[in-house]
Structure 1
Amino acid sequence: MNLEELRSVAKENLKGFCRVCSFCDGKACRGEVPGMGGVGTGSSFIANIDALSNIKLNLRTIHNAKDPDICIELFGKKLSMPILAAPITGTSYNMGAKISEEDFIQMVISGSKEAGTIGMCGDGGNPVFYESGLKAIKEENGEGIAIIKPRENSEIIERAKKAEEIGAIAVGVDIDGAGLITMALMGQPVGPKTKQELKEIISKINIPFILKGIMTVDEAQMAVEVGAKAIVVSNHGGRILDYTPGVAEVLPNIAKKVKGKITIFADGGVRSGVDVLKYLALGADAVLVGRPVIIGAFGGGKEGVKFILEKIAKELKQAMILTGCNDIQSVDEKIIYKK
Structure 2
Amino acid sequence: MKEVKEKARELMQGFCRVCKVCDGRACVGEVPGMGGLGTAASFKNNISALASVKLNMRLLHGVTEPDTSCSVLGYDLAMPVMAAPIGGVSFNMGGKVGEEDYIDAVVSGSKACGVIGCTGDGVPPFIHEAGYAAIVKNGGLGIPFIKPWEGGELDEKLEKARATGCAAFGMDVDAAGLVTLRQMGRPVSPKTPAELEKIVSKVHGWDAKFILKGIMTPDEALLAAEVGADAIVVSNHGGRVLDHTPGTAEVLPAIAEAVSGKLAILVDGGIRDGADVLKMVALGADAVMIGRPVSVAAVGGLQEGVETYFNTLKGQLVQAMILTGSQTVKDLTSRVIHRG
On whether the aligned pair clears a TM of 0.5, the verdict is: yes
Query: What does residue 243 of structure 1 align with?
Result: 244
Aligned with residue 150 of structure 1, among 148, 151, 154? 148
CA-to-partner distance for each residue in 1:101-150, whole Å, 9 max, x for gaps? 12111111011111111100011011111111001000000000000001
Query: What does residue 80 of structure 2 align with?
Result: 82
C-alpha contact (below 8 Å) 1:153/1:201 kept by paired residues: no
Query: What does residue 169 of structure 2 align with?
Result: 171
Task: Provide the secondary structure at the position in 2 that maps to 1:264.
Answer: strand
CA-to-partner distance for each residue in 1:225-270, whole Å, 9 max, x for gaps? 0000000000000000000000000000000011111000010001
Q: Which amino acid aligns with 1:230?
A: A
CA-to-partner distance for each residue in 1:140-170, whole Å, 9 max, x for gaps? 0000000000113643233222222221121
2-structure distance, mates of 1:248, 1:74: 20
Cα drift, residue 64 of structure 1: 2.1
Query: What does residue 228 of structure 2 align with?
Result: 227
Cα drift, residue 4 of structure 1: 1.4
Query: What does residue 329 of structure 2 align with?
Result: 328
C-alpha contact (below 8 Å) 2:15/2:34 kept by paired residues: yes
TM-score, length basis structure 1: 0.98
Matched, 1:276 2:274: no
1-structure distance, mates of 2:31, 2:161: 29
Cα drift, residue 37 of structure 1: 0.5
2-structure distance, mates of 1:120, 1:77: 13
TM-score, length basis structure 2: 0.97
Cα drift, residue 90 of structure 1: 1.2
Which has the higher mean CA deviation after the structures are superposed, 276-285 or 172-181?
Answer: 172-181
Q: Which amino acid aligns with 1:302?
A: Q
Which has the higher mean CA deviation after the structures are superposed, 58-67 or 190-199?
Answer: 58-67
Aligned with residue 189 of structure 1, among 180, 184, 187? 187
What RMSD, in angstroms, separates the aligned Cα atoms of the two structures? 1.0
Query: What does residue 309 of structure 2 align with?
Result: 308
Change in 2 beyond 3 A, CA 1:153/1:212: farther
* Percent identical residues: 53
C-alpha contact (below 8 Å) 1:44/1:246 kept by paired residues: yes
Cα drift, residue 6 of structure 1: 1.1
Unpaired runs of at least 5, structure 1: none
Task: Provide the secondary structure at the position in 2 that maps to 1:204.
Answer: helix
Aligned with residue 55 of structure 2, among 50, 54, 57? 57
C-alpha contact (below 8 Å) 1:84/1:118 kept by paired residues: yes
CA-to-partner distance for each residue in 1:19-51, whole Å, 9 max, x for gaps? 111110000111111111100001000000000
Which has the higher mean CA deviation after the structures are superposed, 89-98 or 162-171?
Answer: 162-171
C-alpha contact (below 8 Å) 1:247/1:266 kept by paired residues: yes
Cα drift, residue 73 of structure 1: 1.2
2-structure distance, mates of 1:104, 1:178: 24
Structure 1 segments of 4 or more deviating over 3 A? none
Q: Which amino acid aligns with 2:220?
A: E
Q: Which amino acid aligns with 2:53?
A: I
Change in 2 beyond 3 A, CA 1:311/1:90: same
1-structure distance, mates of 2:101, 2:310: 18
2-structure distance, mates of 1:132, 1:108: 11
Task: Provide the secondary structure at the position in 2 that maps to 1:231.
Answer: strand
Query: What does residue 267 of structure 1 align with?
Result: 268
CA-to-partner distance for each residue in 1:275-325, whole Å, 9 max, x for gaps? 000000000000011111111111111110111111111101110110011
Query: What does residue 90 of structure 2 align with?
Result: 92
Matched, 1:289 2:287: no
C-alpha contact (below 8 Å) 1:45/1:237 kept by paired residues: yes
C-alpha contact (below 8 Å) 1:153/1:197 kept by paired residues: no
